[in-house]
Amino acid sequence: KDLVIKQTLGEGSFGRVKMVVHRPAPTAGAPEPESRSYALKMLSKQGMANKKQVKAILAELRVLLLINHPFLLHLHGTYQSRDLCYFLFDCIQGGELFKRLASSDDCTIPFKDAQFYASHLVEALVYLQSKRVVYRDLKPENILIDARGYARVVDFGFAKVMQDDDSLAYTLCGTPEYLSPECVLGTGYRFEIDLWAFGIIVYEMLVGYTPFSNDDDEVDDMMAIFKRITKATIEFPDALDDRTVDFVTAILAREQQKRLGNSLEGLSEVRDHHFFTGDIDFPAILAMKAPAPWTPKIRGIDDTSNFDDYDD
């Protein structure tokens, strides 16, 4: 009853996400309580049943209840009415990394910014792997920027908790341009599928497009993308420095066992790579004490200007 519903932040096939502002009732003699914004995911029970998505939503909820990390979206609570299920999340008001990329003339961001966001993603992947969670849909649309300029991974609809470190998953899911060769070929995958998508994102932040996307403006065929993922040579613009080329090349190794971060040393290999050395202080990043190179413009707790407009 203390939640004031505001604008729509996003829409799905059987629900939408709205900003809500929590305005606690004042207590006599106490200072006025501080208001705070949240994101409320509202799902139609009938819609979930009609699309046979109840099991998938419960699997997503299982992951959300398992995780707690500064660079992952936090679930504050779940509620229900007769017709709807509600998930209450942090409201990340800075908008999508995708929108930030798209708003620049060449769809890139400065190297320092890319380095900064990449360090957040590394820490998020380290944590998810420790929980045996494979995310399976890492892309700029699923990375939001908070008010302090830090990145947060959202939308755990495709995430899966693995039974053990040796288990394999085979489901083809996610977004074509970010899928790994082992996912495309159906040979089985584990946590390294997220490493591959991470490498694609680093390339995209600095180049302006994904390495296996179409070279022209025509609509790309999914099978053509898959063919390039499994066979094409990655081309790097001359403007990229050697350490970036080496970093992305090592992560986008088609053979899983050769992929940077997939050895016995694990993701510490990625942290220790000279792509980060000298510039990124990982303990400070994890403590959120490192200054962000860029912060979004946010005009208040109910500002939704960094999101697309929807008909309410």
CA 140 to chain centre: 6
| Distance in angstroms (rounded) separating the CA atoms of residues 20 and 2 | 10
Question: How much is the pLDDT for 214?
Answer: 75
Question: How much is the pLDDT for 162?
Answer: 96
Q: Does domain 97-286 have CATH number 3.30.1540.10?
A: no
Per domain, the residue ranges of the chain are 3-90, 97-286
- Domain 3-90 belongs to what architecture? 2-Layer Sandwich (3.30)
Same topology between domain 3-90 and domain 97-286: no
Amino acid 116 reads F
Question: How much is the pLDDT for 14?
Answer: 87
**Active-site residue numbers?**
137
| 62 CB-contact burial (10 Å; exposed 0-12 / middle 13-18 / buried 19+) | middle
Question: How much is the pLDDT for 218?
Answer: 56
Record the pTM: 0.94
41 marked ligand binding residue: yes
Q: What are the pLDDT tens digits along the chain (312 aa)?
A: 678 999 999 998 889 999 999 988 777 777 877 899 999 999 999 999 999 999 999 999 999 999 999 999 999 999 999 999 999 999 999 999 999 999 999 999 999 999 999 999 999 999 999 999 999 999 999 999 999 999 999 999 999 999 988 899 999 999 999 999 999 999 999 999 999 999 999 999 999 999 998 766 556 688 999 999 999 999 999 999 999 999 999 999 999 999 999 987 889 999 999 999 999 999 999 999 999 999 999 999 999 999 999 887
CB atoms within 10 A of CB 285: 20
Amino acid 44 reads S
Question: How much is the pLDDT for 139?
Answer: 99
